[in-house]
Amino acid sequence: MNDATVLTTHQLSKSYGSRPAVKHLDLDVRRGEIFGFLGPNGAGKTTTIRMALGLIRPSSGRVEVLGCDIARQKAEVLPRVGALVESPALYTYMSGRDNLRAFAAVLGGVPARRLDEVLDVVDLRGRQKDRVGSYSMGMKQRLGLAVALLHEPELLVLDEPANGLDPAGIVEMRDLMRRLAASGKTIFVSSHVLGEVQQICDRVAIINLGQLVRVAPVADLIGAHGEFEVKLENPERALQLVREQPWGSGARLQEGTLVTTSPSGRGRDLVQFLAQADCWPDAVSERQHDLEEIFLDLTASNGGVN
């Protein structure tokens, strides 16, 4: 682990009885990034996060957080980490502010002005005096995040923070994560809301059945895959022409758009080919894969959801 790495798992494994939940997982989260941890239900995300926070013991392997071994130096490292695992445990009969005050008292050493700061960050200043029982799901989730932020953690570990939120709440949570990352925090966030991860994360790890399937920058995952989408007046004729070429056998029509590779891999050569055949394209764009498609492809091989 070097300075740029804030969370590393080494061959991390956990079994419940004879059933493995996480298998030989190697991950590294770098300082300042938003790292997405993706997987279908039951993939082992929460189990991994619980081990990373020292809430449960691995069956084998280990976790380093901020340069410390979590199993041995938990008390030292946890004050530098903010966590939101599943739904936050809040006192529903107390106000938002009193909740923060109670958690701050347990943490110790949290100055009173910090309460206002975190309420501002999560945009709950206006509702701080209301009972948490009267909060919407999104507000509770944001208050949970405010609790996690009280002690100014360097690393935030968020397990499905968008869980149970409506579309507006999801947008708010996404904006909030962006702001936190911009303020220099590292965020490790699990999700099965793929669109979310695609929009905010720098890198993602995809796990399925407890095993790492892929880890890559989001841009690489959704980036060009050598195909082009071509809009033209007579797509059927263009399709026929392209299909006759040795490089075009995979060409197809999707909703009236020609999807094909190019003779050389470059878009201009495809345009030239079509133009020479008098099939002038109206528009040509490189096709990008949606993270959802990739995710389904990568996790479908062994049944996906368990």
Ligand X SMILES: Nc1ncnc2c1ncn2[C@@H]1O[C@H](COP(=O)(O)OP(=O)(O)OP(=O)(O)O)[C@@H](O)[C@H]1O
Contact set with ligand X (CB under 6 A):
16, 21, 39, 41-47, 192, 306
What does 8 interact with, of Mg ion, ligand X, none (CB < 5 to 8 A by kind)?
none
Q: Which is nearer to Mg ion, 9 or 46 (CB)?
A: 46
Compute the least distance from the CB of residue 159 to Mg ion, in Å.
6
Phi, psi of 252 (to 5 degrees): -160, 170
Beta bridge partners of 83: 157
Compute CA distances 225 → 204, 220, 240, 286, whole Å.
18, 10, 22, 8
| Residue 16 contact among ligand X, Mg ion, none, beta carbon within 5 to 8 Å by kind | ligand X
Beta carbon of residue 261, minimum distance to ligand X (angstroms, whole number): 36
In the complex, least distance from residue 302 CB atom to Mg ion, rounded to whole angstroms: 19
What is the phi/psi pair of residue 163, to 5°? -55, 130
Which residue number, 44 or 235, has a Cβ lying nearer to ligand X?
Answer: 44
Q: How many CB atoms lie within 10 A of CB 17?
A: 5
Half-sphere exposure of 275 (CA within 13 A, CB side): 9
Which of the listed partners (Mg ion, ligand X, none) does 44 bind, with a CB threshold of 5 to 8 Å by partner kind?
ligand X
CB of 43 or CB of 212, closer to ligand X: 43
CB of 205 to ligand X, least distance (A): 12
Residues composing the chain = 306
In the list Mg ion, ligand X, none, the entry touching 280 (Cβ below 5 to 8 angstroms by class) is: none
- DSSP states of 86-152: SS----TTSBHHHHHHHHHHHH----THHHHHHHHHTT-GGGTTSBGGGS-HHHHHHHHHHHHHTT-
For the chain, state the CA radius of gyration. 24
Q: Footprint of Mg ion on residues 39-58 (CB under 5 A)?
A: 45-46
| 3-class DSSP assignment, residue 211 | strand
Q: By C-beta, is 45 or 151 nearer to Mg ion?
A: 45
Burial class (CB in 10 A: 0-12, 13-18, 19+), 276: exposed
Q: Is residue 13 near Mg ion by the rule CB under 5 A?
A: no
Of 24 and 287, nearer to ligand X (C-beta) is 24
Q: Which does 192 bind (CB under 5 to 8 A by kind): Mg ion, ligand X, none?
A: ligand X
Nearer to ligand X, 21 or 124 (CB): 21
List contacts with Mg ion (CB under 5 A): 45-46
